[in-house]
Chains A and B, each alone.
Chain A
Amino acid sequence: MKISQLLQPKSGQLALPLAIFLQLFYVIPLLVLIATSFQGEGGAGLSLKNYTEFFNNSVNVKVLIDTFLMGIQVTIVSLIVGYPVAYLYIKAPGFWKGILTFLITLPLLTSAVVRTFGWVVIMGRQGLINTALLQLGMIEEPIRLLFTHNGVLIALTQVWMPMMVLPIVASLSQIDPRLAAASQSLGGGVWRTFWQITFPLTLPGMISGALLVFALTVSSFVTPSIIGGGQLIYLPTLIYQQGIILLNQPFAAAVSTLLLIMVVVMVLILTALGRRSRRYIH
């Protein structure tokens, strides 16, 4: 076939290479993963052995719950902190907008390893927070921040918050500024205007941000493994330990499947919510 025929505007053939590539190296591996998770003793037959093993151990169940909780907490904190950042960005005049763009997107584009390392320096025994608190005399002993759930929570919020800010900015910029003006001319105060007009109209942005932040948080490996250290374990770390260090691949596959289910269910719920929230926005 000649190249000119391939580039015929109507043909879908141009999508074929990517489609085949993804089928082969993405869809099939995922199916292999799920199949592996049902592998029985000695690699023979179908069984739920890996799943019963997982749920019979309370440590694993705690890891599952911790991961889910972490996802929810990071999502909520990024929403609360990220929304005002997006609001500030929208209201900022030209020059500041450029600076803010840089500040919001640079973290997004620098590697998660680098950013997490920054948190290690901040939260370490001789880190910024402990040094400051000690010098101020507010504490006598360095407090433990590294290797705690809250430490991981703060670091993950920083790592994924841009994913919340960006969709909210997009949503805010689509709101007709005359709506807020109309509300205020009708006697609505600033708070009222925000809660009754701006906030509901940015729901689609918040929901797509929440979707991304949740999925990315529960899938995070680098940050929890560094900040959480060896003691605090989340599902991705468990998968890594079981799959690569202990070479128990069927069990790691089962954990992966559970993590996949968690992400997919949350994505489906939030997508459905997103569709509903969009009905009065063209």
Chain B
Amino acid sequence: MSSTLVKPPSPIQQKSGNLPRQLDKISFQVVMQLIAWLGLLLLTAPSIIILITSFSNAPTLEFPPPGFSLQWYSSLFSFPELRAAALNSFQVALITTLVCVVLGVSACLAMMNSKGRWVTAMDALVMSPLALPGVALGLGMMSFFAMVGVRLSLFTLIVSHIVICTPYVVRNVLANLTQLGSSLQEASTALGASPSYTFFKVTLPLIRPGVLIGAFMAFITSFDNVAVTLFLSDARTDMLPIRMWSMIQNDLDVRAAAISGVLIFVTALLMIVMERFSSLSKALIGN
């Protein structure tokens, strides 16, 4: 009988008098599954539609496309402004990620090994940009830089991106460190290792998954950001998401679909790579 305790009774064991019970179960399944599949459709539809559209052979945006071709992808090659924008975004995201990792990991080490009240305050401070409106942060930082007389440049842009991307590094690394516990670091110390030896030989190799995932999410956040970037980049620096945003907003350029296609492919590829190296889904889903 133990199996019936774990799973709901199977239909074979049920007698004909159990109709209300059957109805109860079936109605639950139907309602749950129906909404869930609707939800999954909602979640995936835009990406799938964009992918299909990007292979369209039509001169304007329409769905379903009359035929398929690679013309919009090949048109990207003769679009030098786009390449410059992508390069700028890549550069900013890379530097942002590196600084976030250095600042974030060292802060996590301090937060992990200390039990003071300041840890709670620090945690709230680091995480809060996640929940605050990017437009407001961007405006505040822009006013601040104007006040102290710093002109907008790649530097101001990177600074603002560090503020909004550090939470991802700190959240993942801190979770990894907490899971690791302090006993391995203590074991290393007790064996005579110096703090830096302990960090590079024991702690860092073991929190590498958290660092990688944090860095990955920080990179993506920086690369895709529009709200803060609008306020903190100078007019001459063209950033990819901003360019795409104006392309879509102004004239529904089909080339935007091809760029989107490239971005979706790259993201999916990176996700698969990250999954191999450090189980990204575990960090995102948490089980």
Chain A positions within 8 Å of B, measured between CB atoms, are: 3-5, 7-19, 21-22, 25-30, 32-33, 36, 80-85, 87-89, 98, 100-122, 124, 126-128, 131, 154-155, 157-158, 161-162, 165-166, 169-170, 173, 177-178, 181, 184-185, 189-191, 194, 211-212, 215-216, 218-219, 221-222, 225-226, 235-236, 239-240, 243-244, 249, 252-253, 256-257, 259-260, 263, 267
Contact = CB atoms under 8 A, between A and B. Distances in A.
A256 B122 CA distance: 24
Nearest to A188: B24
A29 B140 contact: yes
A225 to B, nearest CB: 7
A84 B39 contact: yes
B244 interface: yes
Contact of A253 (B5, B8, B139, B162): B139
The 8 closest A-B pairs by CB, nearest first: A118-B46, A33-B140, A219-B133, A111-B224, A7-B195, A256-B136, A14-B110, A15-B110
22 contacts: A4-B194, A9-B182, A14-B110, A18-B126, A21-B163, A32-B144, A104-B43, A108-B284, A120-B248, A122-B49, A126-B63, A128-B64, A158-B43, A166-B285, A177-B6, A185-B5, A190-B25, A219-B134, A222-B226, A239-B133, A243-B135, A249-B139
Contacts of B104: 18
A81 B47 contact: no
B94 interface: no
Interface residues of B, number: 107
Given A5-B195, A109-B217, A173-B286, 8 more contacts: A16-B110, A28-B144, A29-B144, A114-B263, A184-B8, A221-B230, A222-B245, A256-B139
B21 interface: yes
B227 A18 contact: no
Interface in B211-269: 217, 220, 223-224, 226-227, 230-231, 241, 244-245, 248-249, 252, 256-257, 260, 263-264, 267-268
B133 A84 contact: no
B132 A4 contact: no
Contacts of B198: 7, 9
A240 B226 CA distance: 11
A263 B43 contact: no
B36 A113 contact: no
Contact of A256 (B34, B133, B189, B280): B133
What is the predominant secondary structure among interface residues of chain A facing chain B? helix
B285 A219 contact: no
A29 B28 contact: no
Contact of B5 (A181, A216, A226): A181
A116 B64 CA distance: 18
Contacts of B191: none
B159 A118 contact: no
A33 B137 CA distance: 8
B133 A260 contact: yes
A85 B50 CA distance: 23
Given A25-B159, A263-B132, A14 B109 contact: yes
B79 interface: no
A12 B110 contact: yes
B45 interface: yes
B27 A191 contact: yes
B6 A9 contact: no
A216 B139 CA distance: 17
B62 to A, nearest CB: 4
Nearest to B9: A184
